[in-house]
Amino acid sequence: MTAGTSVLDLGCGPGTDAVPLAGRGAQVTGVDLSSAMLDRARTASAEAGVTVRLVHADMRQFVEPACYDLVISGYTSFGYFADPGWGQLVLCHAWWCLVSGGRLLMDLFSKEFFARWAGIPKTVEVDGGQLFMRDTVLDDWTRLRSDWTLVRGDTARHGFFEQFVYSAVEIRGMLAAAGFTGIVCFGGFAGDPFDNHAKRLVVEATRPPESEGIPS
């Protein structure tokens, strides 16, 4: 990435990727549905002394045509949809947001990973407490429900979220349908293969330079 690269971070959260990229000279726009997350991203960028344009928006609606060299979606920000068609729509919007030849980088927990991991209850030590997590597979492996309970002292908070989970083959098909080419899957950011050891699914795709018109 060169200084001045324009980057769109879909589901930027607390600025995990947006802030360091801005620190490397990128012109970063972070989009998120959660104002609490955007507040955290604002604080993180101020602390790092960088500027990130933060937009409170739903990635299903956010389109700025041909404005970005790179679109990223980090740490499974993709998939919190009620309808499977919305995932496809977001990928089409990402295609539109890219300049010709621009690239998309997605980082997901894949269905293949969850097949090894889901169903095993987990306990994680967190600041001053413990987090208990349990996943339930829904709709024939289309979606996953994650229940969590945070116990701190005498108090316990419970919550859950549901998300679509995608296999590498499914994401490839969706990206191709959105008009992307050069679709490559990795098992991590170091370029490891997406195999039975992969803990992440990192997908790179390109809006082809010669693309014109609406993706099929």
Ligand X SMILES: C[S@@+](CC[C@H](N)C(=O)[O-])C[C@H]1O[C@@H](n2cnc3c(N)ncnc32)[C@H](O)[C@@H]1O
Count of other CB atoms within 10 angstroms of residue 136: 13
Binding mask 38-67 for ligand X (x = CB under 6 A): --------------------xxx-------
CB of 73 to ligand X, least distance (A): 7
Q: Closer to ligand X at the Cβ: 161 or 209?
A: 161
The stretch near ligand X (CB under 6 A) out of 71-79, 125-133, 141-149, 178-186 is 71-79
Contact between 56 and 14 (Cβ < 8 Å): no
Using CB under 6 A, pick the residue from 22, 26, 37, 165 that binds ligand X.
Answer: 37
What's the token pair of residue 85?
């068609």
Contacts of 46 (CB under 8 A, 6+ apart): none
DSSP state of 66: T
CB of 59 to ligand X, least distance (A): 4
Is residue 32 near ligand X by the rule CB under 6 A?
Answer: yes
Q: What is the dihedral of CA 172, 85, 87, 171, to 10 degrees?
A: -10
Q: Closer to ligand X at the Cβ: 131 or 211?
A: 131
Beta-bridge mates of residue 117 = none
CB of 91 to ligand X, least distance (A): 13
Question: Among 95, 30, 4, which residue's Cα sits nearest to residue 40?
Answer: 30
Using CB under 6 A as the criterion, which residues of the chain lie in contact with ligand X when the complex forms? 11-13, 16-17, 31-34, 37, 58-60, 74-77, 80
